[in-house]
Structure 1
Amino acid sequence: MPPSPSIGLGDWVAVQGYRALTTTLRPLLPAYLKRRVARGKDSSDRWREKLAEPSSTRPSGALIWLHAVGLGEVMALRSVIAHLSKTTDAYFLVTSTSRGSAEVFTQELPKRTQHQLLPLDSPTFVKRFLDHWRPDLVIWAEQEIWPGFVFEAHSRGLPQVLINARMDRKSFESRRRVKWLFRAALSRLRFVSAQDEVTARHLRQLGSIDVTVDGSLKPAAPPLPFDQVEYEAVRGELKKGRFIWVLGSSHLADETVALAAHEELLKTQPDAILVIVPRFPDRASDVAAAAAALGNAVHVENGFGKLGLWYRLADAVMMGGTFSDVEGHNPWEPARLGRGVFHGPKFANFAPDYAALQKCGGAMQVSEATELADLLASRQLGVMGAKAESCAMERAAELLPLFARLEGLIDETV
């Protein structure tokens, strides 16, 4: 098939080369997914969605498809759905990649919204997925943009955008090695909205022309969901006037600091409770073993989707991933609930977010356990939480131009 008049020869070669490679790999993909299921990386109930075997039917009417990779990214899409659902009667299909994102997001789906796991980016699966769902508009988010899907959607005349784009130096360097491929994909998008100027510069260097900087979606996301009955039960059993602080989305290095800080805090507040919510719940037993010496003064959560519950019960929050090479997790989730955020020195993946919260007084960086314990004991947490919530509201308002642009595209195409 020769290149169409709408694309250059270089882009055509990129498209055909990528399709040929992913077609060659297709026979190996079911076995690859079965291995992931065996290791607990994918759900035994839903893994076939990644082969474009849908688990639900398409609703009748216009359909807007949104995609993000993982838990934090897909939860941020709730802000887009909440805003757009006020101005359109369209349905929403949200896809993601990780098991955790699917399990948490489906606990409380927004109205008129379905969720599927994104199929692997091979032509057979791509075409089967698009044939079934027939979206009217495609919204890619953050770092997730799959060339095969982009090329096929473009060939069908589907408008596509990339929003909440984020790309650090490391990600940029890896994509620059296949710049020809990403240039071809980015050229098929109607517009790109970046979280920050660094990302915008990287995207322009990769070939994207229409890039605006609108900030992060995360401050505008609705508060994390929770079960009211469970909240009342836990508050009655555990809270009882005691000081509770939460380590959210934790990793090993964060837990080491938090446990040492809690041991120090117990010297002056012997009834204080530390709640640790591991980023990966399958680590809960290991975390509980590490915390055993502190007895009932530490509670370790072992389920998905519990941060909404624990942040509401917390007097203070420390964000996980900020003492490890993970480089941070979303600080706006506790901020939206009026909780100030303590964090370590490693937050490169959310640098603009932590900087904004620090500037408004809603977040504070700590370097070691004793410092953290002293700050927790200071009880200046209510003011800090109010500033964090106010900052989130202000940042959410900055996204109105992006939402207006999406509404215009919907009016044009849906």
Structure 2
Amino acid sequence: MKVLVIGSGGREHALAWSIAKSPRVSEVVCAPGNGGIASVARCVNVNQKDLGDLLRVVAAESPDLTVVGPELPLSLGLVDELRRRSLAVFGPTRAAAMLETSKSFAKRFMQRHNIPTAAYAVCSSHQEALDSLDLFHLPVVIKADGLAAGKGVLICNAKKEAEEAIEGLFNGKLLGSIEESIVIEEFLEGEEISFLLLSDGKHAAALVPAQDHKRIGEGDTGLNTGGMGVYSTDEMVDDQMRDWILHHIAQPTIDGMAAEETPFTGVLYCGLMMTARGPMVLEYNARFGDPETQAILMRLESDLVEALEACVEGRLSDTEFRWRKGASACVVASSEGYPGSYTNGRVITGLEEAARVPGVQIFHAGTSLVGGELLTSGGRVLGVTAAAADLRTALDLAYEAMKKVHFEGMYYRRDIGYRALKKK
């Protein structure tokens, strides 16, 4: 069968890599892909912001299954259009994807269905937000309502800082676009967990958990990013807690969406805070996380394509997952200046030597292949990922490989997984 993957980042490289391993797959096509994805899939040009161009590529390729990676094509309604054409597509509809594309929708949805989350206020004007701010204790969380590439969440420790965040979101200076509404939330304390699950609209099947490192600086300091590294271990969530999350958060979310006549089919990312009051939802994403996908798929031993097809065909309850025991870790190499402005076109060297480190797979996030040379073409450039029997070994392998890679201005955090290692 032929599978088309939509997207161009590290998540899509991991998806294409995992899909290509299926004995049922004869060809993987990625639109638009990147310099690394070209090693496991045929890449074709597409404008991911243009629904018409996305539909053109699907029509030209005639895939047996289309897998939508990023959030933007979901928000454009790509899945809706492909379903109208009776084409097999993995991902939620535009209405179901509102769990991610609208923070206010997600908060109100959780309130309607008694899903544990932080206290909040949705504000549609600058003044309403300033008035609502007085209802919260500091620190407080200020969120852009719409998509913000992982950069629309601000934790404010002082009232003036919160007021400046509110002003920056409403006047467009903070994210480059004017927000029509924002969400103010109670600050939750605890450990963050990325809990991903597949759904066929009725059933939920959990993937192995992971923990992302959002901040640019070591010790979780500095600006928020799309993710600077992630790890996954068997110890993160025990069986009892996994079942609690499935029965009190995951399945109620799927049931609630079905009850509201917007069934959720695809992968649901539940960003959880493990608080003293129990797990609480920080946010939903309506697609695979990045870089969580890299670490998670390194541990998947069963056929990913079979699971994706089961979601599309409504038979997920019959699907079994097999996972590699132990741990995996992904360390992201970024361009100097990220998450702010950065320079593209830097030559990347050392990848072949790095890939020879046992247990390591390098996923490309922002690279391009020009004249036989791999060049940087994004803020997050590479995700050096390793799997091993334990977290310390997985991290050692990832960092050993990372030291062999070079491009001008390369930056990566050297403390991924530090909290878990400290506990041990």
Task: Please confirm whether the aligned pair reaches a TM-score higher than 0.5, indicating the same fold.
Answer: no
> Which structure exhibits the higher relative contact order, with contacts defined as CA atoms closer than 8 Å and separated by 6 or more residues?
2
Please, what TM-score do these two structures have when normalized by structure 2? 0.26
Higher helix share: 1
Higher strand share: 2
Please, what TM-score do these two structures have when normalized by structure 1? 0.26
